[in-house]
Amino acid sequence: MIRWDRGWRLYLRVALALGITLVFVFPVYWLAMISVKSPDEIYAYPPVWFPSEFRFSSYVTLFRDGDAWAVWNSLITAGVSTVLAMAIGTTAAYSIVRFRTGGENLAIWIISQRMIPPICVAFPIFLLFVSWQWIDTRFGLILLYTAFNVPYVTWMMRGYIQDIPLELEHSALVDGLSRWAVLRKVVLPMARAGLFATAVFTFIFAWNDFLFALVLTKSEAVTYTVKVTGYFGSQSTFWSKIGAMSMLGVLPMMFVVATMQRFIVRGMSLGAVKG
Amino acid sequence: MANLKLHNINKYYGAYHAVRDVSFDIPAGEFVVLVGASGCGKSTLLRAIAGLEEISGGDMTLRGTSITRLAPRDRNVAMVFQSYALYPYLSVRENIAFGLRARKTPDAEINTQVAWAAEVLDISDYLDRYPRELSGGQRQRVAIGRAIVRDADLYLFDEPLSNLDAKLRDGMREEIKKLHEKLGKTFIYVTHDQIEAMTLAQRIILLKDGQIEQVGPPLDLFERPRNAYVAAFLGSPPMNFIEVNVSAGSVILPDGQALPGCAMPDGIYTWGIRPEHFTADEQGPLLAKLDVIQPTGARSYGTFYIAGNHMMAELDAHAANHGQTHLSVAMDRTLFFDPATGEAIP
């Protein structure tokens, strides 16, 4: 009786998990299908769940016309800004934790910077970028994403670094390492899970940005999020291009999250233990 | 020649005066134990010597040169930490080699040194394991290995055995003593455990409230403590104290019993008797009613009260029985202290 009950509950739980997964995966599936459907199939009613033939012509078009360049822009801006933000933020976090830089309140002030709604600063930043001639440059976007992500990285890494036993660092100092070497050889390896998890989220923030990319780019530095919107026309909407471009944007993220999943889960639970 | 000299070391944490005017010399090759109750400043002092704690005043010299302002890595000291401080992401071999690599030692020499340290500490079989795969005792050995593998001027131990269980601790104590004899290096060892201090030290530095109470070889401190605090700190079970009146060569206890054979001038004293100074003796002048008997095998501890003062006698296992017992006291080995200041009166 008890065993039957337990088996049944497990069954229910798996079914529920499957159902939820389906709900969340379906839009991605639909997007992928749109990108390979024929125009007729896209507009067909009742909807075509599975296309009769996979057409990759939209992808070919994206690459031939150079639109895929926008994905490359996204990769560069998100990638470089993640590396920069991680380097600056981790160093800052270490300083705050170990040397009480800025006293009690600096860390709070830093994270408060992350809480500013981006739209509030979009216009001032646009004016700034115009006067510095950074409009439509990857350089400008990289700096901006870095500036926005440093507070987040500092806040997260502060938590992870606090969890590292002080004696490990002291031991390394006595053994002959400088502070910088301690950071590199003790703190970073000890905070590895947190480091990867934070980097993934930092990357996602930059990758998902639409607002700044829309305001600050025109053609050269356009990122994929902005490019996608260009296919919504007043006369017609290029659904298969939208699908294909979106897939190009989704795939790198899927790859990153899949490879880093181990660290993301561990990093999140680590952060959860220490508030 | 003194290897390490500390001169008027002071350390404040805000308004709290953690280390007060501490000065001592440690000759090269000596095994010194810093001992005291928790909060006495012993670990702070050790960490100050390592350079992990900035001092508020005073000067330290090592082999004649001042190290007061040097970074930890420029002091050439090696340290074993209470928590072992092993790097979980490095194998035992790399943990031991860590300090050598930090100092850019050639690989061939690292290999020789690591193999030697592993041999000395009997951990050669574990070199390719990770710390999480080791027992507490093995981790402790790795931590010690990481220190001794380096050719340092000073080896510092911060309560290295306090995380081990009692049995393992006894074994490691012996090994640390052997290690010191083998290496002939200067060891400074911090502990709150008086047994560790007594058994390991060539010289004990006993601290209280950030100040040195007494310095000397273990038996000197044990037999000739400068004051009641030192007398009470060393020895287990601790020394018994009772206020007595000495009159005409007899010690008069508060309950009126008189014990003859005292050479002190007449007056009021705090009398210190170690538990082992009592003997069960039919002819003994002291009549005590033993309340609680704690046998340990060879010896037994008997508790009794004299006018409300808790006393403990260490007696022969079979001589310790409940009820009225006659005890004799080794009068010449007992100690007398000034009841006001606690200073020992010779």
Q: What is the pLDDT of residues A183-196, one digit of tens each?
A: 999 999 999 889 99
Please answer whether residues A77 and A223 qualify as being in contact, where contact means their C-beta atoms are separated by less than 8 angstroms: yes
Between CA B300 and CA B311, with CA B305 as vertex, the angle to 5 degrees is 50
Interchain proximity B73–A186, CB inside 8 Å: no
Please answer whether residues B99 and B78 qualify as being in contact, where contact means their C-beta atoms are separated by less than 8 angstroms: yes
Residues of B with CB under 8 A from a CB of A: 47, 50-52, 71-73, 75, 77-79, 81-83, 85, 87-89, 98-99, 102-103, 146, 150, 156
Of the listed ranges A234-238, B34-38, B288-292, the one predicted with least confidence: A234-238
| Token pair listed for B163 | 């995380």
Nearest CA in chain A to B105: A176
Interchain proximity B71–A181, CB inside 8 Å: no
Mean pLDDT (chain B) is 93
| Residues of chain A positioned with their CB less than 8 A from the CB of B83 | 165, 167
From the CA of B143, how many Å to the nearest CA of chain A? 10
| Token pair listed for A111 | 């994270």
Q: What is the pLDDT of residues A25-44, one digit of tens each?
A: 999 999 999 999 988 888 88
Q: What is the pLDDT of residues B219-252, one digit of tens each?
A: 999 999 999 999 999 998 999 999 999 999 999 9
- Work out the percent of chain B whose per-residue pLDDT is above 70: 99
Three-state SS for B208?
strand
Q: Would you call A100 an interface residue with chain B, using a CB distance cutoff of 8 Å?
A: no
Nearest CA in chain A to B155: A174
| Residues of chain B positioned with their CB less than 8 A from the CB of A178 | 71, 73
In angstroms, the CA B264 to CA B93 distance is: 62
Strand ordering across the sheet containing B65-66: B16-27, B2-13, B57-62, B65-66
From the CA of B180, how many Å to the nearest CA of chain A? 20
Please answer whether residues B64 and B10 qualify as being in contact, where contact means their C-beta atoms are separated by less than 8 angstroms: no
Question: What is the domain class of B2-233 according to CATH?
Answer: alpha beta
Please answer whether residues A190 and A166 qualify as being in contact, where contact means their C-beta atoms are separated by less than 8 angstroms: no
| Residues of chain A positioned with their CB less than 8 A from the CB of B81 | 167, 170-171
In angstroms, the CA B90 to CA B113 distance is: 17
State whether CATH 1.10.3720.10 applies to domain A65-269: yes
In angstroms, the CA A56 to CA A247 distance is: 12
> Which ranges in chain B are annotated with CATH 3.40.50.300?
2-233
pLDDT of residue A135: 94
pLDDT of residue A114: 84
From the CA of A95, how many Å to the nearest CA of chain B? 16
pLDDT of residue A274: 38
| Residues of chain B positioned with their CB less than 8 A from the CB of A181 | 102
In angstroms, the CA B140 to CA B271 distance is: 42
Residues 6+ apart with CB under 8 A from B88: A190, B130, B131, B132
Nearest CA in chain A to B81: A167
- In this predicted structure, the answer to whether residue B77 has a pLDDT above a threshold of 60 is yes
In angstroms, the CA A37 to CA A49 distance is: 10
CA-to-CA separations, A236 to A39, A55, A231, A242, B309, in angstroms, rounded: 12, 20, 8, 12, 101
| Residues of chain A positioned with their CB less than 8 A from the CB of B50 | 170, 174
Three-state SS for B4?
strand
Residue with tokens 């007594």: B198
In angstroms, the CA B192 to CA B39 distance is: 10
Nearest CA in chain A to B158: A167
Number of Cβ within 10 Å of residue A45's Cβ equals 5
- In this predicted structure, the answer to whether residue B17 has a pLDDT above a threshold of 60 is yes
Of the listed ranges A11-25, A260-274, B246-260, the one predicted with least confidence: A260-274
Interchain proximity B79–A192, CB inside 8 Å: no
Residues 6+ apart with CB under 8 A from B324: B287, B288, B289
Of the candidates B71, B98, B156, the beta carbon closest to that of A175 is on: B98
In angstroms, the CA A41 to CA A56 distance is: 14
Mean pLDDT (chain A) is 89
Between CA B233 and CA B76, with CA B55 as vertex, the angle to 5 degrees is 90
CA-to-CA separations, B42 to B5, B186, B288, in angstroms, rounded: 16, 17, 39
Q: What is the pLDDT of residues B246-296, one digit of tens each?
A: 999 999 999 999 999 898 999 999 999 999 999 998 899 999 999 999 999
From the CA of B139, how many Å to the nearest CA of chain A? 14
- Work out the percent of chain B whose per-residue pLDDT is above 90: 84
Band of pLDDT at residue A273, cut at 50, 70 and 90? very low
Provide the residue ranges of all domains of chain A, joining segments of one domain with +.
2-55, 65-269
Complex ipTM: 0.86
Nearest CA in chain A to B53: A170
- In this predicted structure, the answer to whether residue B134 has a pLDDT above a threshold of 60 is yes
Please answer whether residues A130 and A240 qualify as being in contact, where contact means their C-beta atoms are separated by less than 8 angstroms: no
Band of pLDDT at residue A234, cut at 50, 70 and 90? confident
Of the candidates A174, A177, A186, the beta carbon closest to that of B77 is on: A174
In angstroms, the CA B283 to CA B238 distance is: 26
Tally C-beta pairs within 8 A across A and B. Answer: 61
Nearest CA in chain B to A167: B85
Number of Cβ within 10 Å of residue A114's Cβ equals 15
Residues 6+ apart with CB under 8 A from A157: A89, A90, A93, A94, A191, A194, A195, A198
Nearest CA in chain B to A186: B87
Of the candidates A171, A181, A192, the beta carbon closest to that of B81 is on: A171
Q: What is the pLDDT of residues B146-176, one digit of tens each?
A: 999 999 999 999 999 988 888 888 888 998 9
Mean pLDDT score, B97-108:
94
Interchain proximity B81–A167, CB inside 8 Å: yes
Looking at residue B49, its amino acid is I
